[in-house]
Amino acid sequence: MEFDLTKCNKILDEFEILVNEGKCNDYEGPLKIGVDLGTANIVLAAVDMNNNPVAGVTCRSSLVKDGIVVDYIGAIKVVKELKIKLEKIVNTELTTAATAIPPGILGGNIKVISNVVSGAGFYVNNVIDEPTAAATVIQCTDGAVVDVGGGTTGVSILKDGEVIFTGDEPTGGTHMTLTLAGYYGMTIEDGEEYKLDKANEDDVFHIVEPVVEKMAAIIKNYVKDYDVNNIYVVGGACCFEKFQTVFEQYIGIKTVKPSVPLLVTPLGIAMNSKIDCY
């Protein structure tokens, strides 16, 4: 049976408006903050004690590659700037935050990601893997949550509300861009801009579909030994309209996608944060 994403999509649509318009929902009490250091985007999300969206800020970034911070000082600077921007929107100082990692990265890289967040002025109160953070927003208790990021494709498999497996491999949106740039003889930067232009979606997806099939192959290998009836795809790299169709056809398991896949993981990180204080 397919899980109903109605509630999840309502929350995501609301959060997207808050992020795009720089607005803040009314809230009472402390806030919970999530910091998502993505390969293509850095996002800060704020929710209240009941996990209702309050505000969020984002910017495009190339400071993280495949879960590894490649510009430590630059990443701290960007997160600090976003922190200041978010504090102005919510009109309060933010002191603690959670962050997230792809499931497969090494311990040293986990520490670096935490240090970026703390270097920007937060006390890091939780570090969660990205697909599990996404599962919090989707509110599924059984199935596979796949986070297709800029650099990696990760999965958390859940059974009766418990995460029973996590995995991650380095294939994501960046690999789509490289394929596109190579096909057209573009620079990587121009390839990324071409990919992000919705007017080019049909043309782009035709070219990058083999990359999507590679992602599907990764997930098919991970889920083959588990009883998985539904796959939920999230992350900026799965925003193509036909993405989940290719996934479903390749893997042979019902695949669904929330309304704003880019913002699922950041919101889930915030939901897994501890209570912030004024």
User: How far apart are alpha carbons 176 and 174 in whole angstroms?
Assistant: 5
Side chain identity at residue 264, one-letter code: V
User: How far apart are alpha carbons 276 and 256 in whole angstroms?
Assistant: 33
Give the model's pLDDT for residue 278.
42
Query: What CATH number has the domain spanning 6-129+263-271?
Result: 3.30.420.40
Within the chain, which residue ranges are assigned CATH 3.30.420.40?
A: 6-129+263-271, 135-261
pLDDT-wise least confident of 4-8, 41-45, 250-254: 4-8
- Closest alpha carbon to 166 in 202, 130, 140: 130
Pairing of strands 254-256, 230-234: parallel
Provide the percentage of residues in the chain whose pLDDT is more than 90: 68
Give the model's pLDDT for residue 105.
64
Contact 68, 109 (CB under 8 A): yes
Average of per-residue pLDDT values in the chain? 90
Task: Indicate the fold that domain 135-261 takes in CATH.
Answer: Nucleotidyltransferase; domain 5 (3.30.420)
The answer on pLDDT for 277 being more than 50 is: no
Beta partners for residue 98, in sequence order? 34, 126
User: How far apart are alpha carbons 150 and 235 in whole angstroms?
Assistant: 8
The predicted-structure confidence for 99-108, as pLDDT tens digits, reads as follows 998 776 656 5
User: How far apart are alpha carbons 38 and 134 in whole angstroms?
Assistant: 13
Global pTM exceeds 0.95:
no
